[in-house]
């Protein structure tokens, strides 16, 4: 972050603090933060050596597009000039956040981590 790089959770913080989003978005951001934290904590608890280069690449290839999708959707929401044009972008953001939650949860399960999703946004999708 010292080199001007944005903190990886900065977009999620922006989404949470925005008055442009709805309850479903807040719930999905909560799910996303929760599932990511559960995966991180399980990795620390396992006392495994650090991820191998192949594991890091596989993680980035899987999670990177999911993160970029919700970041792009957020930029579109934030740039929309009015509520009418923001509505489809909010739907896109909701889907992108839900996809990120499910994608990271699935990755955790594949690594043997049992994650608990609160499914705050399940009925909203």
- Cα–Cα distance for residue pair 55/41, rounded to 1 Å: 17
Domain total in the chain: 1
- Cα–Cα distance for residue pair 21/4, rounded to 1 Å: 27
pTM: 0.85
Q: What share of the chain is helix, strand, coil (3-state, %, to 5)?
A: 70, 0, 30
The gap from C-alpha 105 to its chain's centroid, in whole angstroms, comes to 10
The residue range of the domain holding 68 is: 10-124
Looking at the domain assignment, is residue 1 inside a domain? no
Spatial contact of 84 and 91, defined as CB atoms under 8 Å apart: no
Looking at the domain assignment, is residue 100 inside a domain? yes
Looking at the domain assignment, is residue 5 inside a domain? no
Give 15-38 pLDDT, tens digit per residue.
999 999 999 999 999 999 999 998
Closest Cα to residue 76, out of 95, 62, 61?
95
Looking at the domain assignment, is residue 54 inside a domain? yes
Length of the chain: 125
Looking at the domain assignment, is residue 81 inside a domain? yes
Residue 2 has pLDDT above 60, yes or no: no
Looking at the domain assignment, is residue 69 inside a domain? yes
Looking at the domain assignment, is residue 35 inside a domain? yes
Mean pLDDT of the chain: 86
């Amino acid at each position: 972050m010292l080199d001007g790089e944005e903190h990886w959770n900065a977009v999620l913080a922006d989404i949470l603090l925005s008055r442009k989003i709805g309850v479903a978005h807040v719930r999905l951001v909560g799910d996303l933060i929760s599932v990511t934290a559960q995966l991180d904590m399980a990795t620390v608890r396992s006392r495994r050596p650090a991820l191998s280069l192949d594991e890091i690449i596989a993680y980035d290839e899987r999670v990177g597009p999911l993160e970029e999708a919700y970041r792009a959707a957020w930029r579109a929401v934030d740039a929309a000039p009015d509520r009418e044009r923001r509505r489809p972008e909010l739907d896109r953001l909701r889907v992108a956040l839900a996809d990120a939650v499910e994608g990271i949860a699935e990755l955790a399960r594949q690594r043997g981590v049992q994650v608990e999703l609160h499914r705050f946004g399940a009925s909203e999708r």
